[in-house]
Amino acid sequence: MSSEAPTIANKDEKATEVATGPTDEEKAESYKNLGNEHMKKKEYTKAIECYTEALKYNPHNAVYYANRSLAHLRQESFGYALSDGIAAVKEDPMYLKGYYRRAAAHMSLGKFKQALSDFEYVAKVRPNDENAKVKFTECKKIVKRQAFERAIAVDKPDKTLSEMFSDLEFIAIEDDYNGPKLEDGKVTLTFMKELMQHYKAQKKLHKKFAYKILCDIDTYLRKQPSLVDITVPAEAKFTICGDIHGQFYDLMNIFEINGLPSETNPYLFNGDFVDRGSFSVECIFTLFGFKLLYPNHFFMSRGNHESINMNQMYGFTGEVTAKYTSTMADMFTQVFNWLPLCHCINNKILIMHGGLFSTDNVTLDDLRKIERNRQPPEEGLMCELLWSDPQEAIGRGPSKRGVGIQFGPDVTKRFCEKNNLEYVVRSHEVKDAGYEVTHNGQCITVFSAPNYCDTMGNNGAFINIKGNDLKPNFTSFEAVSHPDVKPMAYASSIMSLLG
């Protein structure tokens, strides 16, 4: 009997250890606290992982859903953020931060009426809460403004900007203006070199020339198809860049590393030229200038940020209005509607900003037939070209952004086989190296805004190919310094609601 006693005692000790170990609730809180520390360091992916672990131990805690919703918002995964905001409200209808998170996700998706409903509820429950009152008032202004814009919108003849603003040619140039000037109303290489130096010195292009460039680019883009075919000769180099997002000084660094655009050094910029970065005006006029100078050797695809909702939310509209006028902001809206949606190089590489489609039967001819002169719809081919993202899993899934879809390697393979393509190139997502190759080499992401929003610490990248083999060669680069103007400097009135 005595020989069995230690065994019994050991069992009791182990039982005591189990009984006094951390509970599931305590484990959940520990993960939540760790997630909060990652949020402070802006390590959003790690924060999401921690909140997800917390929810495994306590799946009905509204705080964990709300915290994870905020982390998803910071990563622009608005669909996931909305799901977590909805879950937070469901788990605890009295937890007001859940309503804030749901409202922020709705606003990020351009659904201001739904956001207003949440802000209104919080303001009623807490009538003395100044923060709630401000958010409700600001959101209400946006909804009213949108209603007013819809009310005054009438069908107009499809006039070009040149026809609508024919009197702009009579704008006087002040005697003290010493910046670049168009030559006989045309963009020249000399003008472009002077413009870039002018912008580096933080000076502004005269409005007369800015308006003229917009009018000319509008006239040109109207004649382009929705899918532009590009031929790259056998030994010629061709460069593909991703998102620039208003980071003008990093754009200049690309040209420093890879050479200025020319007929022997062609470029394609794959959408999201503006927003977030506070030098978007400088970026877009530089890109439009090169497009006018080298129309057959410089290409631009529309991104999801070349749209009214995104521009109003993320700064471009505010920047254009501050540096020029609200009229010019409206002119940009018309021009962006005419940007091509995708490009195809040598019939073998399809390049679009977002990604692929919710069905398998899409052909290049279908893309050529898209009527693009409009704001991006919430579904369909145009939406998916601008918004979709790849995923590791096979098949398709709901978009983390709440718009478009996520598509797997099997989807990419079938699309390439059906259209006799080697691979697709897209942008739309921050990558640590500035690029990523997935889907067995058939889906390449390129992102050209290093240290995105001055916070992400990522490299930017661009792709060089040659016409004879179309093999992608990647160049990564770090961010360069820029004047002390913070990202989102022109977007505070709306973005302040998303905290």
With beta carbons less than 8 A apart as the criterion, state whether 217 and 186 touch. no
Two structure tokens written together for 410: 């099997």
Q: What tokens does 246 get?
A: 């208003």
What span, in angstroms and rounded, lies between the C-alpha atoms of 386 and 3? Answer: 74
What residues contact residue 434 under an 8 Å CB cut-off, 6+ apart?
A: 242, 446, 447, 448, 450, 458, 459, 460, 461, 462, 474, 476, 477
Helix (H) or strand (E) holding 19: helix 5-20
Surface-to-core class of residue 265, CB atoms within 10 Å of its CB (0-12 exposed, 13-18 middle, 19+ buried): middle
Catalytic residue among 38, 72, 106, 305: 305
Residue 128: CB atoms within 10 A of its CB come to: 7
Q: How far apart are CA 122 and CA 457, in angstroms?
A: 36
CA dist 425 and 403 (Å) reads 19
Dihedral sign computed on CA atoms, order 401, 348, 374, 169: positive
3-class secondary-structure state, position 387: helix
Q: Is 248 helix (H, G, I), strand (E, B) or coil?
A: helix
DSSP states along 258-322 = H---BTTB-EEE-S--SSSSTTHHHHHHHHHHHHHHSTTTEEE---TTSSHHHHHHHSHHHHHHH
Residue carrying structure tokens 């002169």: 373
Contact indicator for 459, 477 with CB cutoff of 8 Å: yes
Please confirm, yes or no, whether 297 is among the known catalytic residues. no
Residues 394/410, Cβ–Cβ less than 8 Å = yes
Beta strand 460-466 with 435-438 is: unpaired
Catalytic site positions: 305
